[in-house]
Amino acid sequence: MKKILFFCTTMLLLGAFAAAQTEPAHIGRVKGTSGMVSIQRAGSLKPAFPNMKVYLNDTLLTGSDGAVGILLEDNTLLSMGPMSRLALDKFDFSPAQNKYALQLRMEQGTFVYLSGLLGKLAPHAVSLDTPSGTISMLKDTNFMARFGGDE
């Protein structure tokens, strides 16, 4: 029992160490903004500006005059118009380890999606949650979408 406890403690410490060592990598950048655009990160809201890095679990929001374009690290291009909300839930682009994942939540607004390398190399790893249901890619695909949000 003592041995198991020691093992668990060691693993916990190792886990904490690993977490402290790896600074979270950005998954993309804001490329252009107009009007009011914000990023919700760890509970606080900050204004978005060009070349700002975006991270996993960020939510991008635009005001009634806002629009924004972002470029993810795999070259996926996403832009959205006024009164839009997009959450970046999952992103993994590691061709060397053959690991791919992209999960976004289009909560409300207008979106233009231009597929990047994730869409080309692993379309089945791309899944987008929307108020109307889940979009899954069968091929490398571009689309536009509008969602009124939950009313």
For binding to other proteins (CB under 8 A), which residues are involved? Answer: 29, 31-34, 50-51, 67-71, 75, 77, 79-82, 84, 110-112, 114-115, 119, 123, 130-148, 150-151
118 contacts 102 by C-beta, under 8 angstroms: yes
Q: Shortest approach of other proteins to residue 13 CB, angstroms? A: 33
**Residue 150 DSSP one-character state:** -
The residue (of 7 and 143) whose beta carbon lies closer to other proteins is 143
Specify the amino acid at residue 12: L
Considering beta carbons, is residue 67 or 125 the nearer one to other proteins? 67
Closest to other proteins by CB, 44 vs 97, is 97
Picking from 47, 68, 59, 78, the residue whose alpha carbon sits closest to that of residue 144 is 78
- In one-letter notation, the amino acid at residue 77 is L
